[in-house]
């Protein structure tokens, strides 16, 4: 399924029905008086968070939504039927903004959360509502009001406990495939992952947490370089970041440099991310060169006050202890 995390839709509430001007004309009922009923209210467009959805794909192909209009009032004191609301399902974690002003209108972070995106119009009053002691035969009724209409920009921010970040091709997809049932595309070239992947990590004692694999970040990601800038918003909701680094033979690349670059990009995108709890792990420990470089790298990171873990997603070495540390950090974050 194609991953779509931002769309613009147009919503319009149904118009209210018109009130009716009518008089009772029944046998043996002289001067029956007014009998025009009210018009029905128009239906609203309601966004509802559905945990079964993981993308805004459906809304990309249907971008216009309108509630049903209310029925007009009728004679014999008959009121018009209200129009039905139109329910539009969106993924949990959808952020709703006004497309014209950018104002945030709603943040649907819980399953079943609802937001009235476009209010239906009010039904007009019939002439029975205007009868008074001095005006017993009013010939006045109201028209229904039009439904609210506006354009909305919907942005999906994944709900995950832990965000998996790092340079392209450092082994993020291999790691999430190792620790969960997620099956992302894995290949030996940069930017293999083109969309975030979610996986549920199960630990002993019925413990579990949700891990999000964010497509590879590079220098300048906060300004739009590479692919990661499109998905940086998905790490905003995470409680803990797991930063993967690798030993590389590429010129200008080393784990400490990569770590600094990604940390700067996170801070430039959102300064609050700089203070997010973060673990750092060296990947591909099954490679001889990586294992030989590990002690020196741990010392270099320790000088920065950062503990460097080491794992091999291919063989599973070090994965279990790292998950336990992640759980402890996550539990501490939830407690604060």
Q: Measure Cα distances from 68 to 50, 88, 123, 304 in Å.
A: 22, 14, 12, 61
Q: Which range marks the domain in which residue 290 is found?
A: 162-335
> Could you tell me the pLDDT band of residue 126, with boundaries at 50, 70 and 90?
very high
Q: How confident is the model at residue 231 (pLDDT cuts 50, 70, 90)?
A: low
Final residue belonging to a domain, choices 98, 129, 156: 156
Do 48 and 152 fall into the same domain? yes
Pairing mode of beta strands 149-156, 94-98:
antiparallel
Say if residue 109 is in the same domain as residue 197: no
Percentage of the chain lying above the pLDDT 90 cut: 51
33 and 143 inside one domain: yes
Identify whether 255 is part of a domain: yes
Mean pLDDT of 316-335: 89
Residue (of 241, 256, 267) closest to 305 by Cα position: 256
Residues 177 and 119 in one domain: no
Has residue 119 been placed in a domain?
yes
What confidence tens digit (pLDDT) does each residue in 238-277 have? Answer: 889 999 999 887 777 789 988 988 888 888 888 888 788 8
* CATH classification at residue 310: 3.40.50.300
Residue 222 has pLDDT above 60, yes or no: no
Co-location of 186 and 239 in the same domain: yes
Residue 46 confidence (pLDDT): 97
Tell me phi and psi for residue 264, to 5 degrees.
-65, -40
Co-location of 176 and 316 in the same domain: yes
Q: Which residue has the higher pLDDT, 28 or 317?
A: 317
Computed over every residue of the chain, the mean pLDDT equals: 86
Do 131 and 192 sit in the same domain of this protein? no
The pLDDT-based confidence of 207 (bands split at 50, 70, 90) is confident
Q: Exposed, middle or buried: residue 67 (CB in 10 Å: 0-12, 13-18, 19+)?
A: buried
CATH number for position 150: 2.70.210.12
Same domain, 123 and 240: no
For residues 87 and 193, state if they share a domain. Answer: no
Mean predicted confidence (pLDDT) in 145-161: 90
Looking at the structure, tell me whether residues 221 and 177 fall in a common domain. Answer: yes
Same domain? For 145 and 187 the reply is no
Q: Are residues 199 and 63 in the same domain?
A: no
Distance separating alpha carbons of residues 104 and 90, to the nearest angstrom: 16
Report the pLDDT value the prediction gives residue 243, as an integer from 0 to 100. 93
**Residues, the chain, total?**
336
- Do 306 and 186 contact (CB within 8 A), yes or no? no
pLDDT bucket at 61, cuts 50 / 70 / 90: confident
Last residue of a domain, one of 156, 171, 206: 156
State pTM to two decimals.
Answer: 0.73
C-alpha closest to that of 168 among 193, 148, 146, 143: 193
Q: Are 9 and 63 in contact (CB under 8 A)?
A: yes
Could you report the per-residue pLDDT of 304-324, keeping only the tens digit for each? 899 999 999 989 999 999 999
Specify if 1 maps to a domain.
Answer: no
Banded pLDDT at 57 (limits 50, 70, 90): confident
Domain boundary among 107, 133, 156: 156
- Total domains present in the chain: 2
pLDDT-derived band at 183, boundaries 50, 70, 90: low
- The region of weakest confidence among 1-10, 66-75, 198-207, 263-272 is 1-10
Average pLDDT of span 103-126: 95
């Amino acid at each position: 399924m194609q991953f779509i995390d931002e769309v613009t839709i147009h919503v319009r509430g149904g118009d209210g029905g018109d009130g009716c001007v009518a008089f009772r004309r029944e046998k043996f009922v002289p001067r029956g008086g007014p009998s025009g009923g009210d018009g029905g209210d128009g239906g609203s467009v309601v966004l509802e968070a559905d945990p079964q959805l993981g993308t805004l794909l459906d809304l990309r192909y249907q971008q216009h939504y309108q509630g049903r209009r209310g029925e007009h009032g009728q004679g014999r004191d008959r009121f018009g039927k209200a129009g039905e609301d139109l329910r539009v399902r969106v993924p949990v974690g959808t952020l709703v903004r006004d497309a014209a002003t950018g104002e945030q209108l709603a943040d649907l972070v819980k399953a079943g959360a609802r937001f009235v995106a476009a209010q239906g119009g009010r039904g007009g009053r019939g002439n029975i509502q205007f009868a008074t002691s001095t005006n017993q035969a009013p010939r006045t009724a109201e028209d229904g009001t039009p439904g609210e209409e506006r354009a909305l920009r919907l942005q999906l921010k994944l709900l995950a406990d832990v965000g998996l970040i790092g340079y392209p091709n450092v082994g993020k997809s291999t790691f999430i495939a190792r620790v969960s049932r997620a099956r992302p595309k894995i290949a030996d070239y940069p930017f293999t992952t083109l969309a975030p992947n979610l996986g549920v990590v199960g630990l002993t004692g019925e413990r579990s947490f949700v891990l999000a694999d964010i497509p590879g970040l590079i220098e300048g990601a906060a300004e739009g370089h590479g692919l990661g800038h499109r998905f940086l918003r998905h790490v905003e909701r995470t409680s803990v970041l797991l930063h993967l680094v690798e030993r590389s033979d590429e010129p200008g690349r080393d784990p400490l440099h990569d770590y600094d670059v990604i940390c700067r990009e996170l801070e430039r995108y959102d300064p609050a991310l700089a203070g997010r709890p973060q673990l750092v792990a060296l990947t591909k420990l099954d490679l001889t060169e990586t294992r030989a470089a590990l002690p020196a790298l741990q010392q270099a990171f320790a000088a920065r006050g950062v503990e460097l873990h080491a794992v091999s997603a291919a063989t599973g070495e070090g994965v279990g202890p790292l998950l336990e540390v992640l759980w402890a950090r996550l539990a501490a974050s939830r407690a604060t």
